[in-house]
Amino acid sequence: MPSDVSPTARALRALEILQTRPGTTADQLAEKLGVTERAARRYIGILREAGIQVESARGPHGGYRLRRGTRLPPIVFTQAEALGLVMAVLDGQPAATEADDPVGAALGKVVQALPENVGRQAAALREHAKAAPDRQAARPDPATTSALVAAVAARRRVLITYRSETGNAWQAEVDPWAVVVRYGRWYLLCHSHRADAIRTYRVDRVRAVRQTAHEFEPPDDLDPVAALEANLGTGWEFPTHVVFDAPLAEVAPWIRPPMGRLEPSGDGCVLVGSTSNPAMYAQEWLAAVPFAFRVQGGDELRAAVAAVAKRFAAALMPQDG
């Protein structure tokens, strides 16, 4: 921690540590704060002088902890933290510049509670910064998201009701491993018991969540982001099989994870996956790949590519007269 950090700021950081890790010892606190053990004890003293009840105990299970029922002071932001929070909110929710937006209303309350010098900067940033909405982003229902996160934390299996982009609805019993935010969209990474496989579901398309009594253990080596990237293109209604004559190394930068798995094949490569929306797959994803390709599998995708080809061919037809 930089040497110009004030004792009060370090004391507040010590408070945060005790909130999240009760039983933290003086040497552990010193290490996290980047100070001596003696200085760490001094910051505990500052908290006690401020009326915060910090208890200490000796022995192998000792350390500092907050007394149960302790009333904590309001959250204190530095200017950098406050501006970073406003920027993150505007980046993820452009409408938060409007007071009638629920997230905007919450942000306004946070800004109003800030000290004057910090709040003035944050308010100016919120008022004058403008963000363009991401058309690919999707806002899930907060209650649904909260229910899934609670199940992830409790390691409880859930029964979800899901509606695909094409309108098909079904129920699935899944072990919710993680909720992952990727490029403005929220995904549930889970193990589906119906498919006995890893599945990824858009949280904004989950219509209901019911937690069951069954517990589960996620994989020990789980990397949620990597697992999501690897499985975005699997498990959907319509299979896809696309062959490229160009080398894999040249094609790979143009392939999004939801399109499937790209594998070498002779002098070229093959893309194997699935989709719930063949029309989007054809006209938005495949059309953007600047290499010749052949659709060898997936009747629905073949029909969608044919429709796009027909539309583009019609654009080149000579006009009458």
Q: What is the DSSP string of 10-67?
A: HHHHHHHHHHHSTTB-HHHHHHHHTS-HHHHHHHHHHHHHTT--EEEE-STT-EEEEP
CATH number for the domain spanning 163: value is 2.30.30.520
The tokens for 124 are 């100016």
Domain annotation covers residue 1: no
Domain annotation covers residue 252: yes
pLDDT of the residue at 1: 45
Domain annotation covers residue 122: yes
Looking at the whole model, is its pTM more than 0.85?
A: no
pLDDT of the residue at 18: 86
Count helices and strands in the chain by DSSP H and E runs: 11, 11
pLDDT of the residue at 6: 61
Domain annotation covers residue 169: yes
Judgement on whether residues 118 and 185 belong to the same structural domain of the protein: no
Judgement on whether residues 269 and 299 belong to the same structural domain of the protein: yes
Judgement on whether residues 244 and 309 belong to the same structural domain of the protein: yes
Domain annotation covers residue 210: yes
pLDDT of the residue at 2: 44
Judgement on whether residues 296 and 257 belong to the same structural domain of the protein: yes
Name the domain boundary from 178, 209, 230: 230
Judgement on whether residues 148 and 220 belong to the same structural domain of the protein: yes
Domain annotation covers residue 37: yes
CATH number for the domain spanning 30: value is 1.10.10.10
What distance in Å separates the CA atoms of residue 203 and residue 246, rounded to the nearest whole number? 36
Name the domain boundary from 32, 66, 100: 66
If one counts the domains in the chain, the total is 4
Domain annotation covers residue 71: no
pLDDT of the residue at 61: 60
Domain annotation covers residue 299: yes
Mean pLDDT of successive 10-residue stretches along the chain, which has 321 residues: 58 82 89 90 85 79 76 67 82 75 81 77 82 76 91 95 86 95 88 93 94 94 90 87 96 92 94 92 94 94 96 85 55
Its domain, for residue 273, covers: 238-314
**Cα 93–Cα 105–Cα 202 angle in degrees, nearest 5:** 35
What distance in Å separates the CA atoms of residue 278 and residue 40, rounded to the nearest whole number? 60
pLDDT of the residue at 3: 46
The tokens for 17 are 């540590």
Judgement on whether residues 99 and 176 belong to the same structural domain of the protein: no
Name the domain boundary from 196, 230, 264: 230
